[in-house]
Amino acid sequence: MKRYSVLLMFCLSLLFTMKSVHVQAENYPYRSDVLWTTIPNHADWLYKAGEKATIEVTFLKYGIPRDCEVEFQLAQDMLKPFKNGKVHLKNGRAKIEVGTMNKPGFLDCILKANVDGTVYTHHVKVGFSPEKLTPTTKNPSDFDIFWQKTLQDARKQQPLEYTMKKVERYSDQEIDCYLVKLKVDRTHSVYAYLTKPTKKGSYPVVLCPPGAGVKTIKEPMRHSYYARNGMIRMEMEIHGINPELSEEDFKDVRSAFSEYLDMGLDNRENYYMRHVYTACVRAIDFLTSLDEWDGKNTIVQGGSQGGALSLITAALDKRVTLSVVNHPALSEMAGYANGGTGGYPHFVKKNGMLTPEKIKTMAYYDVVNFARRITCPVYMTWGFNDNTCPPTTNYMVWNLLQGPKDSLITPINEHWTSDATEYGQMVYIKNHLK
């Protein structure tokens, strides 16, 4: 395993910027009057269980250090605070003794300052022996049988069937863009935008499942650099909603799917995500049927829910040769029921979602159980300050991967990735083709 540094990603970003667009650098968060800095006394924000952590806090307004009182709370990752305290910033700085954990995990230091009548907040998480984190989610004995049958039934019900319509407004001399409608099984379809080089040849295929939510594919050309670098990319949705719907019509449809991650969770056969996971494999069926596929490289790439679906697809389909993911969701979903940290969609926030029946179903859909089964290489990125897909669950997934794996860990990141990181993932894929 090797860890790609943030410096490398910066260099890739700089190279991309010089080649394609001019970007004006900004030192502060966009149009923010204030800046917090939180610097742990270990440069990588990581400690061994039992080691004590200290964080230096700085608060600036208009770039000027401000003396003020900062209230802080300490909590285990995503759990209720167990300690409150205050520090006074002198010349805009102070140190907070965070303490330690005697078991693997993350501590979150949550900060609040009232300056000139406005309350400003910030937080920072540090890890303790996270390489030893393990999930509590059970591994069902019939997990593989369930998914093999699910995929077999879908293919039996619905042979490969799709339509492709060229979208002129997204096509140019270098790339062609198509709107694809793909049948998943007898009752479900999904839509996708497919971009590929106009030049005849054989190319790797890249499937990109979506992040969570009910949304259309609004920016199909945001990652057009995949096609411009010799790859076929399929950016899909999961709800069967045509991205060419008007905004008014889309609003009417959206309400029907607003709670889709809860739907049918009492029974593994009826859970909404069953056909979604199946759709990702059917998308691989489609991509590998294209005449332009190079016959060797099949990549899945995505973030959050899309990161989860990318890992899931890699586990379900051995044609996948590389999985590239950001902060995967749907991981250790029942963790809260066992007194620990859980992952998105954080079912603990809703009443009646952590029943024995639902927890049993979750095990068949949890990324940690798919991670156990992945054999292809994985390149994974995550941050520590993420409260959507927390670092605890990211490490649980990472620790279960048994095949070749590389990571880019960006501690400061919350639930986002930079353009540089996303472009760097394309570069990584390009450099690891067969």
Q: Which of 131-140, 161-170, 212-221, 256-265 is least confident?
A: 212-221
Q: Supply the pLDDT for residue 13.
A: 41
Which tens digit of pLDDT belongs to each residue from 244-262? 888 787 877 777 777 899 9
For residue 220, the tally of other CB atoms under 10 A from its CB is 20
Which tens digit of pLDDT belongs to each residue from 370-410? 999 999 999 999 999 999 999 999 999 999 999 999 999 99
For the chain, percent of residues with pLDDT exceeding 70:
94
Which residue among the candidates 189, 304, 310, 331 is catalytic per the annotation?
304
Rounded average pLDDT over 294-309: 98
Which residue among the candidates 108, 185, 285, 386 is catalytic per the annotation?
386
> Is the pLDDT confidence value at 2 over 60?
no
Rounded average pLDDT over 204-219: 90
Q: How many residues does the chain have?
A: 434
Q: Supply the pLDDT for residue 14.
A: 39
Residue 304 is among the residues annotated as catalytic for this protein? yes
> Is the pLDDT confidence value at 351 over 80?
yes
List the end-to-end C-alpha distance of the chain, in Å, as a whole number. 19
Residue 386 is among the residues annotated as catalytic for this protein? yes
> How many angstroms separate the CA atoms of 375 and 359, rounded?
26
Which tens digit of pLDDT belongs to each residue from 8-28? 443 444 344 334 444 455 667
Residue with tokens 């969609």: 345
Q: Supply the pLDDT for residue 215.
A: 81
Given a contact cutoff of 8 angstroms between Cβ atoms, the answer to whether 191 and 180 are in contact is yes
Q: Please give the domain boundaries of the chain with CATH numbers for all domains.
A: 33-130 (2.60.40.1930), 143-431 (3.40.50.1820)
Q: Which of 40-49, 251-260, 282-291 is least confident?
A: 251-260
Q: Supply the pLDDT for residue 26.
A: 63
Rounded average pLDDT over 408-416: 96
Which residue among the candidates 122, 223, 346, 415 is catalytic per the annotation?
415
Rounded average pLDDT over 292-301: 98
- Report the chain's mean pLDDT, rounded to a whole number: 93
Query: Three-class SS of residue 15?
Result: helix
The pTM of this model reads 0.93
For residue 349, the tally of other CB atoms under 10 A from its CB is 9
Query: Three-class SS of residue 57?
Result: strand
> How many angstroms separate the CA atoms of 140 and 334, rounded?
14
Name the residue type at position 25: A
Q: Supply the pLDDT for residue 254.
A: 78
Token pair for 303: 């973030």
CA distances to 13, 337, 370, 422 from 9, rounded to whole Å, are 6, 38, 28, 9
Rounded average pLDDT over 130-145: 98
197: left (phi over 0), alpha (psi -120 to 50) or beta: beta
CA distances to 69, 72, 95, 267, 373 from 113, rounded to whole Å, are 6, 9, 15, 46, 46
Position with higher pLDDT, 9 vs 141: 141
Rounded average pLDDT over 145-162: 97
